[in-house]
A = this chain, B = another copy of it.
Amino acid sequence: MNKVVDHVSEALTGIEDGMTIMLGGFGLCGIPENSIKELVKMGTKNLTCISNNAGVDDFGLGLLLQRKQIKKMISSYVGENEEFERQMLSGELEVDLIPQGSLAERCRAGGAGIPAFFTPAGYGTEVAEGKEVRVFNGKPHILESALTADFAIVKAWKGDTEGNLVFKATAMNFNPMMAMAGKITIAEVEELVPAGSLDPNFIHTPGIFVQRIFKGAVFEKRIEQRTVRKRA
């Protein structure tokens, strides 16, 4: 059983029009940028994309939005993307906005075989519309359901040939939960190492959640808000 594939095109085999895809990342941090570029090349259409953000106009998922490859976005925050806002307000793009914590927990639930759970987030708002409300300890909660995807595409710092992954700093974000929730999970990594190279005590995503792994060719890692302080 070999999970390692040599090229992104091989890794993305089987992704078809109309599928649901989860993509890790927060803003442009920790996004599977090689896979996104390949999806542009593939021209796959009518995708439902589950991702916390939608990239910016010319990077990340913004590239797929520009080419109208996305039918529906399931996200929590999309404020950085003008093309997104335009498509959404014009009705070209279906959008399901979800509280960030509920999005994270719904992905984890999907991967963990928990079909639904109660959370206080969104009670009394339009997020709660049509959802069951129940009071626990005097506080109203809404019932949220699990999210899964045909493919989950995540980006890790290092990965081994067994599919074990480790992430760096805040580039971890949604990647571990999405890795759990994909029927097929694809990991693009900066460093691909032999099994046994990673300390088994410090694996963020155990290989059981990963079906395919490849070393990304280029990581541009664009920064959205470069904030610095002057040296004294």
Interface stretch of the complex, out of A39-47, A162-170, A189-197? A162-170
Q: How far is the CA of A53 from the CA of B154 in the complex (A)?
A: 36
| A208 interface hit (Cβ, 8 Å) | no
Q: How far is the CA of A114 from the CA of B120 in the complex (A)?
A: 8
A73 to chain B, nearest CB (A): 24
A119 closest partner in B (C-beta) = B114
| A201 interface hit (Cβ, 8 Å) | yes
A27 to chain B, nearest CB (A): 19
Interface residues on A, range: 20 to 34
With A166-B201, A201-B167 as contacts: A113 and B117 at CB distance below 8 Å? no
With A201-B166, A202-B202 as contacts: A118 and B117 at CB distance below 8 Å? yes
Number of copies: 2
Please name all residues of chain B whose beta carbon is closer than 8 Å to the beta carbon of A141 when the two chains form the complex.
115
**Which of A109, A112, A117, A136 has most chain B Cβ within 10 Å?**
A117
**Which of A112, A115, A116, A202 has most chain B Cβ within 10 Å?**
A115
| A2 interface hit (Cβ, 8 Å) | no
Q: Which of B114, B119, B169 meets A118, CB within 8 Å?
A: B114
| A160 interface hit (Cβ, 8 Å) | no
Contact with B along A72-106 (1 / 0, CB 8 A): 00000000000000000000000000000000010
Contact with B along A111-142 (1 / 0, CB 8 A): 01111111110000000000000101100010
Flag if A119 contacts B109 (CB, 8 Å). no
Please name all residues of chain B whose beta carbon is closer than 8 Å to the beta carbon of A201 when the two chains form the complex.
166-169, 202
Q: Which residues of A contact B (CB under 8 A)?
A: 105, 109, 112-120, 134, 136-137, 141, 145, 166-169, 200-202
Can you give 18 contacting A-B residue pairs, CB < 8 Å?
Answer: A105-B112, A113-B119, A113-B120, A114-B117, A114-B118, A115-B136, A115-B141, A116-B117, A116-B118, A116-B134, A116-B136, A166-B201, A166-B202, A167-B201, A168-B201, A169-B200, A201-B202, A202-B202
Which A-B residue pairs are the 8 nearest by beta carbons? Answer: A115-B136, A117-B117, A202-B202, A116-B118, A114-B117, A115-B118, A115-B141, A168-B201
